[in-house]
Structure 1
Amino acid sequence: MDVDAGSVAVLAGIAAFGGLLAVLAGTYGLQQARRVRRTGVRVEALVKRPPGGVSDEPVPPRPLLQFVTEDDRVREVVCPVAPTRRRPLNAGDHVLVLYDPADPRTVVVHDLEHAGLDRALIAGGAVVMLLSLTLLAAALTNR
């Protein structure tokens, strides 16, 4: 089967772009979490059941975290990480969070950071980019 080098080049370029987006998203996530851990304000947050959350759903929605900022504003944000078996985050529990004083909607839950997902995005995106660029180089040399 004869494959057009131009078609392969276009598909490889699209895949490389997708890989680049994954690398950028993972890098941004790690950078934001690191920044909030470094400069964020520590407060205790109350875990609340999400509105409309039914307990027998196959994948329960993420709970809400309610906390008071330094300027005495009450904030409610969706928990940035999913509950785990080790830390189920039941309604009424209290957790330590760090929030960005410039944007209190940006929070990091202490001891529940899942940097693995961001690292997986970076690694997966890099692999896709590498394979795409290799495919692109092979297609261009076979012209």
Structure 2
Amino acid sequence: MDQTAAKIKSSGVEISLAADFPAVLVDRTRIVEVLVNLIENSINYMGEQSCPKIDIGYRIDGDSSEPVFFVGDNGIGIDQDQHEKVFNLFYQVKKKTKEAGTGVGLTIVKRIIEVHGGSVWIESGKGKGCSVCFTLPVHKI
């Protein structure tokens, strides 16, 4: 987590965090791992943004009562034909920067979300930023 905090600081990225998230019953450590992976991916694939930004939040889609959580950025985006591939083990989107990941981060994210009973997907277009969206079962109080 300290490495991620340092990476955020050195990148100059602005992070916006929504308030009042719905209560979900999850393994906190694993969900933190999901968020760290998604934030680091956003930073790694930010590109040359004058105002790099990451939004962490949720929305309710249509008639569904299930929240859709997301980590979105204004980075380089991902082509539609790669949206499913990025969750494959060792798959990496090509980028122009030197820093390369291992190609396992989004595979781990997908597995953690699915073990928690949720699903994960990409909403993005090349040059239009990227949002990694996921669902988690809501904890009824």
TM-score, normalised to structure 1, is: 0.28
Structure with bigger RCO (C-alpha 8 Å, 6+ apart) = 1
Question: Normalized per residue, which structure has more helix?
Answer: 1
TM-score where L is the length of structure 2: 0.28
